[in-house]
Chains A and B, each alone.
Chain A
């Protein structure tokens, strides 16, 4: 930086390409020898009231001693400004970083140093219940967009000096701030180093959502439709995962927090499981696993049975299904595909259109398309019922919706072409894929394959808290995880 205020401001203006929101408030410091100063802010990022109260008023009211620009700068820093957050810096890159983060920059003529003063005051969504992870008996708080608020939500729940937030910056152009969050004594240093290394290697230009990082955080050679990167919008969920040795990545501007490593069985766990009585939690868990199986396999198996193995239906059901199918012009495979496709369109439309119109879509979908298509004889009621059941089941484990949808479509096609034989072989492919997948070296199917009896207490059933709290299983202690890191070393 230069010691000339004008020169510094011109440089910054040029760097911001004279952007409309780049504002400079010129002022004169009242001393024996008045000195020019300026407060640089980005409009909308700072609270003007706080600027006036904690910067401008104290500066204008203070009686400065007669001294050099550097002496006045030190006096301002040490005894004039009333803000709690003041950082000294001397590069333009830092000036850009601070100003775009909502700091006010105080520049004084005659010195090559500047002060960044914390006066953030941008508007943001308040802490509210996350719509994607609704619970009955848990906390109603969910993450929001600003990083600092999300950090507070975690810190409030883990009042432990072990909790560490580590800053990283990703995005060549967006310069988005990330926070690696972990419990120092619980986390595996190898896993932590691996995450740091993968984030540093990311070549993203702009990081606008946490989902951008998924590809960089997935293990190499683990290509799968299932994700080895967990996402949560709930601070209580994240805190629970941190206690198990996992690492959370908070991305500025995104309420979705990344959790690593992420396992398949975690998709079936929810905060409510731990609040409900163990027997009911176990019932819900088993229900979720069954729902997943139904959502994936039911339409495909139905198609295969109806087309190639009708003898597998019990006689009564066979008569009803045959009656229903014989009245429609399309083959059962095509019928199942069309209904699933139309359902996906309606679901996507329902998600994107304004909420008041959502009901209209539901009515059109349920009554007009569903009811009318059956009564007109375009589709059979049995196929519609099967697809609808599978669709409802897929919402039980909402986080698995993308793979469920792709697998459902695939199984309908495979069942329609190859019958049950094809479905069994396709399942082999899916199972092999899932069993070979790892999330930061931890087998994705841990607890099931590799099978771990110890972790079974929180897989299909949820043991009572007396047993669960006796020993927390750290994620790096899952079978075959340490072997992977030992092998690498």
Chain B
């Protein structure tokens, strides 16, 4: 019953905001290190501008037809929708795999190197399958609690680092090369995967306004900017030599003798990855028009797990699945190319 009713779009936006924060929480060596602070801020701005552009086609479809992209495609080309759905299913498998691999990397490198990474992935996937069976609405409701926790976690991490801040005027210079700029902008455009999730789930939401996307992206950009600010000014050159700068930020946070605030960071990153994977599974179910189907979500989770095992067995597979360039290109195809094609094709068909 719950899977069928429409829920407020604000809640989906909240879930997407938390999902996109996983990009910054799980960053390994992608974070800008050679560029100046202002230069990196510009990258964030451009990156989120690109993310915003990725949202436009699905927002147009939602506003004009009140349908999600898959339902829209089904309406326009019932015979071809199976191929589109299959492509989107592959995309969401890729998305889930991308974040699962990044999380498991962070887990083995920073949390517990002795833990069985396969067990970690399997349990995480099992929980995500359960969530996917309950539907997008339940996950979106759950994101309210995750948001409350993440808000506390971020406030604790940032305020715990205030005493470490050392602001240098030289960091405000506008310096950096084009290669770095493209690299960092590409990294900051990774949250565009939320546009694809939105395009599939937008059929199940109500009270949608385009400004909600803008607000979500602004908040997302502010979060990224804050992480960047504290990484540059609280960690300084120490961050340049290390992977997982955002995680280090939580390690250095302290209130007098009270430390160990990285537990907040680890919990937030786990929660955001959980949201991404479960929303991806929900999208897969939606693409196959099997909302809340346990066997269906389970089969795809198994597929993700098999890919996960392959990634750890073959380096090439892992490299391909965690490459942000490939991920962004794939996102571009699913969020922009196909929906725009359908919008143009749909109009022509209507005119005929």
A residues sitting closer than 8 Å to B (CB atoms) are 219-221, 308-309, 311-316, 418-422, 424-425, 428-429, 431-433, 435-436, 438, 441, 443, 445, 448-451, 479-480, 483-484, 487-488
* Contacts between the two chains (Cβ within 8 Å), count: 95
Checking A429, A441, A449 against B145 with a beta-carbon cut-off of 8 angstroms, the contacting residue is A449
The 9 closest A-B pairs by CB, nearest first: A312-B260, A436-B138, A435-B141, A449-B141, A436-B134, A483-B5, A449-B144, A431-B142, A432-B131
Q: Are B263 and A487 in contact (CB under 8 A)?
A: no
Contacts of A428 in B (CB 8 A): 127, 131, 142, 271, 274
Give bound CA distance, A450 to B258, whole Å.
35
A451 vs B140: C-alpha distance when bound (angstroms): 11
- In the complex, the chain B residue whose C-beta lies closest to that of A482 is B5
A-B contact pairs, 27 of them (CB 8 A): A221-B1, A221-B2, A312-B263, A315-B257, A418-B123, A421-B107, A421-B270, A424-B267, A424-B271, A425-B123, A425-B124, A428-B127, A428-B271, A429-B130, A429-B131, A431-B145, A432-B131, A433-B134, A436-B134, A436-B135, A436-B137, A448-B145, A450-B8, A450-B141, A484-B2, A487-B4, A488-B1
With A424-B270, A425-B274 given, is the CB distance from A484 to B5 under 8 Å? yes
The 0/1 profile, CB within 8 Å of A marked 1, for residues 181-202 of chain B is 0000000000000000000000
- Contact A421/B131 with A313-B260, A435-B138, A436-B2 known, Cβ cut-off 8 Å: no
Contacts of B127 in A (CB 8 A): 425, 428-429
Q: Give the chain B neighbours of A443 by CB distance below 8 A.
A: 141
B7 interface residue (CB < 8 Å to A):
yes
Whether B109 sits at the interface, judged by CB under 8 Å, is no
Cβ-defined contact, B144 with A451, below 8 A: yes
- Contact B11 A420, beta carbon cutoff 8 Å: no
A residues near B135, Cβ cutoff 8 Å: 436
A436, B11: Cα distance in complex, Å:
14
Report which residue of A308, A449, A479 has the largest number of chain B beta carbons within 10 angstroms of its beta carbon.
Answer: A449
A432-B139, A449-B141, A451-B144 in contact; A438/B1 too (CB < 8 A)?
yes
Given contacts A420-B267, A431-B146, 15 further A-B pairs with CB under 8 A are A221-B1, A309-B260, A309-B263, A314-B257, A314-B259, A420-B266, A421-B107, A428-B131, A429-B130, A435-B139, A449-B142, A479-B8, A480-B5, A483-B5, A484-B1
Measured in the bound complex, the distance between the Cα atoms of B126 and A418 in whole Å is 15
Q: Which of B142-172 contact A (CB under 8 A)?
A: 142, 144-146
B6 at the A interface (CB under 8 A): yes
Question: How far, in angstroms, from A441 to B146 measured CA to CA in the complex?
Answer: 24
The interface residues of chain B lying within 8 Å CB-to-CB of A483 are 5-6
- CB of A478, distance to nearest CB on chain B (Å): 13
The minimal Cβ–Cβ distance linking A479 to chain B, given in whole angstroms, is: 8
Minimum C-beta distance from A279 to chain B (A) = 23
Known: A420-B267, A421-B270, A429-B130. A438 touches B2 (CB 8 A): yes
Where chain B touches its partner, the secondary structure class is helix
Contact between chains at A421 and B142 (CB < 8 Å): no
- For B76-120 the 0/1 string (1 means CB < 8 A from A) is 000000000000000000000000000000010001100000001
The smallest C-beta distance from B150 to any residue of chain A, in angstroms, reads 12
CB distance from A303 to the nearest CB of B (A): 14
> Are A450 and B11 within 8 A (Cβ)?
yes
With contacts A428-B127, A443-B141 taken as known, whether A421 is within 8 angstroms of B5 at the C-beta atoms is no
- Among B127, B131, B142, residue most surrounded by chain A Cβ atoms (within 10 Å): B142
A419-B146 Cα distance, complex, nearest whole Å: 19
- Which residues of the partner chain A approach B145 to less than 8 Å between Cβ atoms? 431, 448-449
A445 and B11 CA atoms in complex are apart in Å by 14
Contacts of B141 in A (CB 8 A): 435-436, 443, 445, 449-450
Q: How far is the CB of B236 from chain A (nearest CB, A)?
A: 24
* A420, B7: Cβ atoms closer than 8 Å: no
| Size of B's binding interface in residues, CB under 8 A | 37
In Å, the complex CA distance between A438 and B4 comes to 14
| A interface: dominant SS | helix
B263-A420 in contact (CB<8A): yes
What is the minimal beta-carbon distance from B201 to any residue of chain A, in angstroms? 16
User: Which residues of chain A are within 8 angstroms of B258 by Cβ–Cβ distance?
Assistant: 314
Q: Which residues of A contact B7 (CB under 8 A)?
A: 450, 480
Residue of A nearest to B111 (CB): A421
Collect the chain B residues with CB atoms within 8 Å of residue A421's CB: 107, 111, 120, 266, 270
Question: In whole angstroms, how far apart are the Cα atoms of A320 and B26 in the complex?
Answer: 35
Bound: A451/B7 CA distance, A: 11
Determine the distance from Cα of A320 to Cα of B48 in the docked complex, in whole angstroms. Answer: 49
Nearest chain B CB to A38 CB, angstrom units: 55
Complex CA distance for A433 and B127, rounded to whole angstroms: 11
A390 to chain B, nearest CB (A): 19
Closest residue of chain A to B261 (Cβ to Cβ) is A312
Whether B1 pairs with A487 at a CB distance below 8 angstroms is yes
State which of A315, A422, A432, A445 has its C-beta within 8 Å of the C-beta of B130. Answer: A432
- A96 and B137 CA atoms in complex are apart in Å by 51
**Chain A nearest CB: distance from B330 CB in Å?**
27
Q: Assess the B134–A432 pair: CB atoms within 8 A.
A: yes
Whole-angstrom distance between the alpha carbons of A316 and B124 in the complex? 35
- Output the nearest chain A residue to B119 by Cβ-Cβ distance: A418
With A and B bound together, what is the CA distance between A438 and B145 in angstroms? 18
Determine whether the beta carbon of A311 is less than 8 Å from that of B139: no
Which residues in B have their C-beta under 8 angstroms from that of A450?
7-8, 11, 141
The residue among A431, A483, A488 with the most chain B CB atoms within 10 A of its own CB is A431
Among B1, B258, B266, residue most surrounded by chain A Cβ atoms (within 10 Å) = B1
A311 to B1, CA, bound (A): 45
Per the bound structure, the CA–CA distance linking A225 and B289 in Å amounts to 30
Alpha-carbon gap, A431 to B263, bound state (A)? 19
* A425 (CB) vs chain B CBs: closest residue: B127
Expressed in whole angstroms, the Cα–Cα distance for A313 and B263 within the complex equals 11
In the complex, the answer to whether B138 meets A432 with C-beta atoms within 8 Å is yes
A309–B131 CA distance with the chains assembled, in angstroms: 28
CB-nearest residue of chain B to A219 = B1
Check if B271 sits within 8 Å of A487, measured CB to CB.
Answer: no
Give, as a whole number of angstroms, the nearest-CB distance from A137 to chain B.
Answer: 32
- State the CA gap A433–B134 with chains docked (Å): 8
CB neighbours of A425 from chain B (8 A):
123-124, 127, 270, 274
CB distance from A355 to the nearest CB of B (A): 41
B234-261: which residues lie under 8 A (CB-CB) from chain A? 257-260
Cβ A432 vs Cβ B1 within 8 A:
no
Closest chain A residue to B131 by CB distance? A432
Give the residue of A315, A432, A488 whose beta carbon is less than 8 angstroms from that of B142: A432
Map CB proximity to A onto B271-283 as digits: 1 under 8 Å, 0 otherwise: 1001000000000
Distance to closest chain A CB from B282 (angstroms):
12
B271 partner residues in chain A, CB cutoff 8 A:
424, 428
Asked if B11 contacts A441 (CB within 8 A), the reply is no
Which residues of the other chain, A, contact B267 by a CB distance below 8 angstroms? Answer: 420, 424
